[in-house]
Amino acid sequence: MIARRRSRVTSFDVAALAGVSQSAVSRAFSANSSIAGDTRAKVLEAAHKLNYIPNFLASSLTTRRTNIIALIIGDLDNPFYVRMLHGFSERLQQAGRQILAFTAGPETDTDAIMMRVLQYQVDGIIVSSAQLSMRVTGLSHDRGIPIVFFNRYVPGSDASCVRCDNAAGGCLIAEAFLGAGAKTFAIVTGESRATTSQDRIRGFVERLIECGIEPSQIEQIEGFSSYSGGADAAISLVRDRKTALPDAIYCVNDIMALGVMDVLKHSFGLSIPGDVMLAGFDDIPESRRLPYQLTTVRQPLDKMIAETLALLHLDETAHPIDQGVDRAIPGELIWRNTVPSARVSRIPPGARPRSR
Amino acid sequence: MIARRRSRVTSFDVAALAGVSQSAVSRAFSANSSIAGDTRAKVLEAAHKLNYIPNFLASSLTTRRTNIIALIIGDLDNPFYVRMLHGFSERLQQAGRQILAFTAGPETDTDAIMMRVLQYQVDGIIVSSAQLSMRVTGLSHDRGIPIVFFNRYVPGSDASCVRCDNAAGGCLIAEAFLGAGAKTFAIVTGESRATTSQDRIRGFVERLIECGIEPSQIEQIEGFSSYSGGADAAISLVRDRKTALPDAIYCVNDIMALGVMDVLKHSFGLSIPGDVMLAGFDDIPESRRLPYQLTTVRQPLDKMIAETLALLHLDETAHPIDQGVDRAIPGELIWRNTVPSARVSRIPPGARPRSR
DNA sequence: TTGAAAGCGCTAACAC
DNA sequence: GTGTTAGCGCTTTCAA
């Protein structure tokens, strides 16, 4: 058993042992500060002897930088957001910064989380979950803390946002289905409040309609952005059915598509794309696996991360905060085996749906 | 564009507006401190007017508590550790604490990460990745920061550890295979340095040998704890083969088992458990899905999390730090479809392998 | 280059 | 219950 709270080793202790002033210790630990080589050496040696580690929080009081970035994660059950976390973590860690992580389910009060984030004087905030109120993004800006929304936006807010061009992605899927000869469609939707889901639906539907599909040929069913939501959607799509199955099913994200596919194949013995075509969105690692081979739209994750970090201006301490920036980065259609690759499309080239 | 670094609103500003002293403001924001109801009301109102939010980092200087817990995550590609993160996040968030997250691949220098963790004066550290040197755990203890290893331990160290009883779990799988009539075995191993993998192998092998299996009937192949590692292992297991396939394959974790299964079925047209039995360890959500239905050992995640948090003694500020505690919580065998359920086992009851 | 001294924003005795 | 005061551990002028 070790007693807690022994008094800490401070820069004063180190200074005393090294025979220098406390400010010399401070200088020894900060890069490019004017200090003589041997002074620094003396300090470092004393520090090592005492197991001294500078208290970063104390220094943040004066420097006003914590090197902490808050990341609010909406859905860890979706592998895409796990990959996002992974990506940010690697990039940030190698830049000497840390992630303060928050998870927020659909029912979580994101504003409450933000209040906690703000108490910690983070250097930046990345939000990939349900929308925040404008008041809270305002509080963040007041404090000079940049905030960027990842793959979602707050309509009408001045906060910046980086996302996949979701509407254009939906459009790509529509064209793939059309090119393969589909005439009737089902959309498995995500959470209705998520702009991501809305945009992916809109791009898809608008393109279909442009190409002469009747709205009555497009049905929608809720999938709640989860594997089991997708599975349930598939069940009700097949079971309670009077008319023929749709030719093609578009899942607004891959994780739902996996659920749909598993149920279609294993519970109903349907073949894909033989009996129905299927497509997703995201390109999570699972989609590439042997049992799935899912045709989908790949989100440009690396670019999105780089762009998000750029908008945070982490290294330019005095940089003003960007507002209202909206970066929509195009995704890429990944052809695999769930849509027959009649790649030669005879789709009218006409104007595509606009990005927002 | 918003300029950065406007001077902050402090408790002095609030005090001035409310017509009270600065300490009154401090009191107003801390629970159970002696302050009159209407004084607090006045303060809160002024604070609201000024958009004041207390600076938690400043207060941590005196209180010596940050409400931050560091979590070092070894492998985000393994869904088990994603679930772990999720679990800790929920429990900690609802207790008003935050997670400072670090990811550490197999090649990451965990000691370097620890040095960064220690700069942040966290209230506790949870490590679920490669082993740390003893020197670093010592530094943490010196500072009065409790540290607990999650599902791994540092042999010979005095750091505490919470884990699944991995050896006993391996033993369970051995018995399941034996009960189903298997005589020859393959083990797909994880990272060789991970105690988790070692223990799971040991428990399995010892039990087999106790039951009269010759060591020559047990082959081992590296799976590197990943899906693709499992897939590769399956390929070399089948392809470069002169003798018959083993009766049963034991993957030291589920994510590898999925890779093995996909390859066996889709690349080689093998049936499971018809041609080979298969079992994993962890019980990740994917294992329950229709295409897999994997027989496995369920790690008692909730209990493990609760136990870890208990060892941290987050609420008892003065509690001494536990040392050398080792909690091995038994896992549960989950029978699904990859091992024929000849559940009536005629296995000699003799002494089981010991836990460590 | 170095040391002294004044903060950074807050908490916690201590008197009143 | 409230204000005064002395820190918490560090950075950063400012002189020397």
**Alpha carbon distance B193, B190 (integer Å):** 8
CA angle B288, B291, B293 (to 5 degrees): 35
The residues facing B248 across adjacent strands are B185, B277
Q: What pLDDT score was predicted for residue A342?
A: 66
The crossing angle, in degrees rounded to 10, of helices B79-94 and B254-262 is 150
Residue range B299-321: average pLDDT? Answer: 93
**Alpha carbon distance A140, A135 (integer Å):** 9
Q: Are B128 and B194 in contact (CB under 8 A)?
A: no
Q: Is residue B288 very low, low, confident or very high in pLDDT (cuts 50, 70, 90)?
A: very high
Rounded to the nearest angstrom, the gap between the alpha carbon of residue B263 and the centroid of all alpha carbons in its chain is 27
**Does B86 touch chain A if contact means CB atoms closer than 8 Å?**
yes
Phi, psi of B2 (to 5 degrees): -115, 135
In this complex, the nucleotide whose C1' atom is nearest to the CA atom of residue A8 is D9
Q: Is residue A353 very low, low, confident or very high in pLDDT (cuts 50, 70, 90)?
A: very low
Q: Look at chain B and count its residues.
A: 356
Taking the CA atoms of chain A, what radius of gyration do you get in angstroms? 26
In this complex, the nucleotide whose C1' atom is nearest to the CA atom of residue B22 is D3
**pTM score:** 0.94
Identity of the residue numbered B257: A
* Residue B349: cis peptide before it, omega within 30 degrees of 0: no
Q: For A278-297, write each residue's pLDDT tens digit.
A: 999 999 999 999 999 999 99
Q: 3-class DSSP state for residue B56?
A: helix
Q: 3-class DSSP state for residue B35?
A: coil
HSE-up of A16 (CA within 13 Å, CB side)?
7
**Alpha carbon distance B134, B84 (integer Å):** 24
DSSP characters for A56-85? HHHHHHHH----EEEEEES-TTSHHHHHHH
B286 is written with which tokens? 């994917």
Identity of the residue numbered B161: C
Contacts with A307 (C-beta within 8 Å, 6 or more apart), sequence order:
A162, A327, A329
Residue range A305-331: average pLDDT? Answer: 92
**Does A179 touch chain B if contact means CB atoms closer than 8 Å?**
no
User: Which residues of A in 150-179 have their CB below 7 Å from strand D's atoms?
Assistant: none
**Mean pLDDT (chain B, rounded):** 92
CB-strand contact A103/D, under 7 Å: no
**Mean pLDDT (chain A, rounded):** 92
Which residues of A fall within a CB distance of 8 Å from B76? 82, 85-86, 89
Q: For B28-62, write each residue's pLDDT tens digit.
A: 999 888 899 999 999 999 999 999 999 999 999 99
Chain D: nucleotides below 7 Å from protein CB are: 1-5, 7-13
